[in-house]
Every structure is written in C-alpha cells, then in structure tokens.
C-alpha cells in the first residue's frame, strides 16, 4: 500500500535552516508529483510547492519562493524539503503528499517544526 | 490566486442529521475540487475528488456536488466518527488553495 513516511519533529533556532524528508513506498516514486503543504497551529492548509521526481521539475507558491527548496533522491524514493532563514512564522506542521492529477491522495504523517531560541 | 470561501466556519449537528458544507470558488475551477476530513493530530484524509467522486473506502453517506462555482459536501446521516475539520481544495491552478475549514461537532 502507498505510504509516505516523514522525518521526525525539529526544534530549530531563528535564522537557521531545517531539512525534512518524505520516504515513499508502495508505488513508483518517479511517476507522481509530490506536493508539500504547511499547516500553522490551529489554522488552515497552505500549498507550498511540488516536485516531479522523474525530472526534478518544481513549481512553487510565490509566497514560499526563496523559503523552500525541494529535492528528491530517486535511489531511495525520498523527497526532501529544506526551509531557510527560519522565523517564528515558519513554526508549523509540514506534510508531504502524493499528487494524483486532480487530487492530493496520500499524505505523510506530518513534521512539526518549532522555531525557538 | 483562486480564493476558496468555505462556510460555515463551524457547525454543531445531531446524530443522523443531514450536514452540508460549501466552498465557493472565486473563478471557474471545473471539477478540480476535493474534500478532506482532518481529525486532531492526524493528516487530512481524502473524502471526495473531482467534485463528486467518492474516494476509496469512504462511506456512501458522504457525497459531493457542484453548481457552477459552488461546491458542496453533504453528510446524509451524521455519525459520531464524522466529527473533525473539513477542508476543500482546488487543484485547477497553482497555487493550489484550500478553504479555511469547517469544524464539525456533535450537538
């Protein structure tokens, strides 16, 4: 069955960067785009961007350009997102999701990022 | 960006009651609309895709409909396990955008 297993929670200092992972299994990793979604505490969901593992092509929400970097390792079926120059506004849960054309169908369990000195 | 205006923000309903949640898109998005349920501490779960198609394993009491740029999620007979927060998502264009969410509680 399709699974997306994300890395553990992170506590990072303001101004630092954090890199999180999303390991896919149960399907052909290179056939589907992977999206990343942010959920701030008690708030709705924001689409950050997407990456196509086969080519590395990316698309971003303008709001997250310069903040998020998306990469993949095809050999391990793992997608990565790095967030840079962290502030308290970046404290949130981050999800990776598989895109199935019209829908984000499978979601990882989420990574809680806390930015605090 | 396409705005998805979701209503109501919160809703309290009784067991077996019919519940309807709506999302109004700021422009045409065709059938590129999905509905999700999120329980506390969990990832969103897909309920409906392509505006009206039930996702695998989802009970038939959930249904989706479309009228122009207004989309609705209906729960025909509310059950205890249906409490949570519901979100709509448009994938017609980037950036994908979500509704603000509807918190559904039992009365």
**Tens digit of pLDDT per residue, chain B (107 long)?**
999 999 999 999 999 999 999 999 999 999 999 999 999 999 999 999 999 999 999 999 999 999 999 999 999 999 999 999 999 999 999 999 999 999 999 99
Q: Which residues contact A105 (CB under 8 A, 6 or more apart)?
A: A2, A97, A98, A99, B46, B49, B55
For B89, which of A100, A104, A108 is closest by C-beta distance?
Answer: A104
Beta carbons of B89 and A107 less than 8 Å apart = no
3-state helix, strand, coil in chain A (%, to 5): 10, 55, 35
Residue owning tokens 């990316």:
A58
Residue A44 above 90 pLDDT?
A: no
Give whole-number Cα distances, A48 to A40, B27, B88, in Å: 12, 21, 16
Distance from CA of B100 to the nearest CA of A (A): 5
For a pLDDT cut of 90, what percent of chain A falls above it? 94
Minimum Cα–Cα distance from B101: chain A residue: A44
Assigned token pair, B49: 């895709």
* pLDDT of the residue at B28: 97
Task: Note the residue count of chain A.
Answer: 117
User: For B99, left (φ over 0), alpha (ψ -120 to 50), or beta?
Assistant: beta
Taking the C-alpha atoms of residue B102 and residue B92, their distance in angstroms, rounded to an integer, is 21
- Per-residue b or e along B9-34, where b marks 16 or more CB atoms closer than 10 Å to that residue's CB: eebebeeeeebbbbbebeeebeebbb
Residue B1: helix, strand or coil by DSSP? coil
B23 phi and psi, to 5 degrees? -130, 130
* pLDDT of the residue at A102: 84
């Amino acid at each position: 069955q399709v699974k997306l297993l994300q890395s553990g929670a992170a506590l990072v200092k303001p101004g630092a960067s954090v890199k999180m992972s999303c390991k896919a299994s149960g399907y052909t990793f290179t056939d589907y785009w992977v999206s990343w979604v942010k959920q701030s505490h008690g708030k709705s969901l924001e689409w950050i961007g997407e990456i196509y593992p086969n080519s590395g092509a990316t698309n971003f929400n303008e709001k997250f350009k310069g903040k998020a970097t998306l990469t993949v390792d095809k050999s391990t079926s793992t997608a990565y997102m790095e967030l840079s120059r962290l502030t308290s506004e970046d404290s949130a849960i981050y999800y990776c999701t598989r895109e199935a054309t019209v829908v984000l169908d499978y979601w990882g369990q989420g990574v809680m990022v806390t930015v605090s000195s | 960006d396409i705005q998805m205006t979701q209503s109501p923000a919160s809703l309290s309903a009784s067991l077996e009651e019919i519940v309807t949640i709506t999302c109004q898109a700021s422009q045409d998005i065709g059938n590129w609309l999905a509905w999700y349920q999120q329980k506390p501490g969990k990832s969103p779960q897909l309920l409906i895709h392509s505006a009206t198609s039930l996702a695998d394993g989802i009970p038939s009491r959930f249904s989706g409909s479309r009228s122009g740029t207004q989309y609705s999620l209906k729960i025909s007979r509310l059950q205890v396990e249906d409490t949570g927060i519901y979100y709509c998502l448009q994938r017609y264009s980037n950036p994908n955008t979500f509704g603000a969410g509807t918190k559904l509680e039992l009365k």
